[in-house]
Amino acid sequence: MNEESKVKGMMSRRDLLKIGSVAMIGAAGAATLAGCGTPKSTDTSSEETTATAATASFLTAPAAIADSEITETVEADIVVIGSGFSSMAAVRSAVENGATNIVVVEKAATWQYRSNQIGCIGGKIQEDLGIKLDKNAVVQQIMKECGYRPNQRILNLWAEHSGEAFDWFLAPSEGKDVVEPDTASYDGKSMRVRKMHWPQPATADLEANYYPIYDDCQICFPDNGAYLQAFYDMSVEAGVQYMFSTWARQLVRANNEGPVTGVIVQDIDGNYKKINAAKAVLLATGDFASNADMMNHYVPWASRFMSIFPNVDAKGDKTNTGDGQQMGMWIGAKMEDGPLAPMTHHLGGPLGVDAFLLVDIYGDRFCCEDVGGQPIQNQISRLPQKKCWQIFDSKWPEQIGYMDCGHGNVSWFVDAAQVPNGMYGKNAFIALEDSEDGFTPGFNSYFAEGAPGVTANTIEELAALMEVDAVELKATIERYNALAAAGNDEDFGKRADRLFGVLEAPFYAFPLTDTVILVSMGGLQTDVDFNVLDTNDSPIEGLYAVGNTMGGRFLVDYPLPAPGISHGMALTHGMLVGRVLAKL
């Protein structure tokens, strides 16, 4: 496998902050697969979608591809559409449990993956560190942050099996990967696994968090691809056939009744092929963040965000265009009810989304700053010009140890070569040096010439650089300092131990603007065996979904109490659905 051809999907925190420093007002662009016309009998009962159903052309099934257009027929027991994280897990699991004659269809030139974080409950790494998580507490917090709309039974599958799944994920790499705390000596290439934000500063008092954060996340260096390579190699050795540079176009279900019996695909030369599936078709095609029509239909409040991941198909087009959701709906599958949850959490400024003072473009404070990246972005979305400023003074190195240890938080100040034992670097610590330390930008780089951050020795000078009214900003800071001195945030209720005055020069301000979208959660409704349901809530025989193509997991907002849970569910649910498919 040519590593250069594989889409890494990795972006540094600096890259994200650069993108986040300007408003993302254009909708993500991607052509949909469907033709034009009035929607047919697809379910649009959700209140959130009914209003726009008349203009959602992707809901209309295209004309059936005629048998005369089929140039080749392939026989399989199981067809898997998509070759990403959840698919790779499902295929490996199915093979290990006795499944044979599997065909995988992928429109990119090779298998796909993104990022390096995986959230789980339990497993050897957490056991060795003495970390014990209450799975019910974690799941209940996710349910609460999602308005109690997810299918808790699907969340429970992750909570109950994810520790096992992560150990299973690492097993093929035993002897190659190292659980290694020495971040400073990392060479950028070898396989290493580390906890995120571990250990936490003793001063952080995470038990008092308004939004609880749990120690579920592991980081895989250099990224997940090094580990998934083993999955791919194992499946190829077992005889799995991969059809890369091939687009799934239509599921085969006679008269939209009875079982799904296969899929019609199209290769890069335009030739149609029919793959018969004697046992099942698994949809694992990902999300729809790069499909403008689907974004406008399901999450219009997030359609302006740019899809950040660079994964593309064999023609250079974005891969996350909702193919599986569309194909499923065309043959009678039910898209889950909304409101769906776009993943648009902010990573904050040079000190992450730590609870430092935030002011809007008028210099006014507007919320309790001690919340995570998704709530912060929700506030930014409603501010004038979708912009605010994070403000702190020269005492920040003494203060960050009291801050949260969640996704996007910074909780240690260290020299680049002195990382605390066992602690993962990215988004967890900040180094004062200007140069990159390999994991997170040096603090000064956010305020260098040409950078968006500003610094000054007086509040008046700071206001001028921010282009904020000096009188208003000074009044806001004076009020904030008085609340901090009193240890009681009467205005917005921030806890006292994270309420630090802006008192000692130099003073710093960094702009937070609209962020980007990673994925848009929302998929086909399934039961706990991943069997896709129809619009009457009955299982469609032979059709399954996993990963971001399945619904029931995240709604309203993407929750952050369990960092890495999206990949954790892709891994865990993939492992479980593979077992289901092997028994068919």
Tell me, yes or no, whether 566 lies in a domain. no
What pLDDT is stored for residue 416 in this prediction?
Answer: 52
Q: Is the pLDDT of residue 438 over 50?
A: no
Reported as a single tens digit per residue, the pLDDT across 47-59 is 444 444 456 899 9
Q: Write out the H or E segment, with its range, that includes residue 342.
A: strand 341-342
Q: Is the pLDDT of residue 426 over 60?
A: no
Q: Mark whether 411 and 378 lie in a shared domain.
A: yes
Tell me, yes or no, whether 4 lies in a domain. no
Q: Determine the average pLDDT of the residues in 209-230.
A: 92
Domain range spanning residue 487?
A: 357-513
| Ramachandran sector of residue 106 (left: φ over 0; alpha: ψ -120 to 50; beta: rest) | beta
Q: Mark whether 106 and 159 lie in a shared domain.
A: no
Domains held by the chain: number: 3
pLDDT band at 45 (very low <50, low <70, confident <90, very high): very low
What pLDDT is stored for residue 310 in this prediction?
Answer: 87
Q: Mark whether 69 and 212 lie in a shared domain.
A: no
pLDDT band at 219 (very low <50, low <70, confident <90, very high): confident
Q: Mark whether 470 and 482 lie in a shared domain.
A: yes
Tell me, yes or no, whether 351 lies in a domain. no
What would the two tokens of residue 487 be? 């240890």
Q: Mark whether 469 and 331 lie in a shared domain.
A: no
Task: Residue 203: name the closest of 404, 437, 377, 382 by CA.
Answer: 404
Q: Mark whether 274 and 330 lie in a shared domain.
A: yes
Q: Would you say 569 and 535 are in contact if contact means Cβ atoms under 8 Å apart? A: no
Cα distance between residue 543 and residue 173, in whole Å: 32
Domain end, chosen from 221, 253, 288, is at 221
Q: What share of the chain is helix, strand, coil (3-state, %, to 5)?
A: 30, 20, 50
pLDDT band at 464 (very low <50, low <70, confident <90, very high): very high
Q: Is the pLDDT of residue 581 over 50?
A: yes
The percent of residues in the chain predicted with pLDDT above 70, rounded, is 84
Tell me, yes or no, whether 57 lies in a domain. yes
Domain end, chosen from 205, 221, 237, is at 221
Q: Would you say 238 and 230 are in contact if contact means Cβ atoms under 8 Å apart? A: no
Which residues is 241 bridged to in the sheet?
103
Q: Mark whether 398 and 489 lie in a shared domain.
A: yes
What pLDDT is stored for residue 28 in this prediction?
Answer: 30
Handedness of CA 287, 292, 297, 300 (dihedral sign): positive
Tell me, yes or no, whether 202 lies in a domain. yes
Tell me, yes or no, whether 15 lies in a domain. no
Q: Mark whether 281 and 404 lie in a shared domain.
A: no
DSSP 301: G
Q: Would you say 238 and 232 are in contact if contact means Cβ atoms under 8 Å apart? A: no
Cα distance between residue 298 and residue 474, in whole Å: 42
Dihedral (C-alpha) 50, 52, 55, 56: value to the nearest 10 degrees? -70
Cα distance between residue 222 and residue 225, in whole Å: 8
Reported as a single tens digit per residue, the pLDDT across 320-351 is 999 999 999 999 999 999 999 999 999 998 89
Q: Mark whether 275 and 207 lie in a shared domain.
A: no
Q: Mark whether 71 and 142 lie in a shared domain.
A: no
Give the CATH number for residue 457: 3.90.700.10
Q: Mark whether 172 and 299 lie in a shared domain.
A: no
Tell me, yes or no, whether 562 lies in a domain. no
First to last CA, the chain: 31
């997810």: which residue's tokens? 150
Q: Mark whether 466 and 373 lie in a shared domain.
A: yes
Q: Would you say 8 and 17 are in contact if contact means Cβ atoms under 8 Å apart? A: no
Q: Write out the H or E segment, with its range, that includes residue 460.
A: helix 459-466
Task: Residue 390: name the closest of 16, 14, 30, 21 by CA.
Answer: 21
**Sheet with strand 192-195: strands edge to edge:** 117-119, 217-221, 192-195, 178-179
Q: Determine the average pLDDT of the residues in 135-147.
A: 98
Tell me, yes or no, whether 557 lies in a domain. no
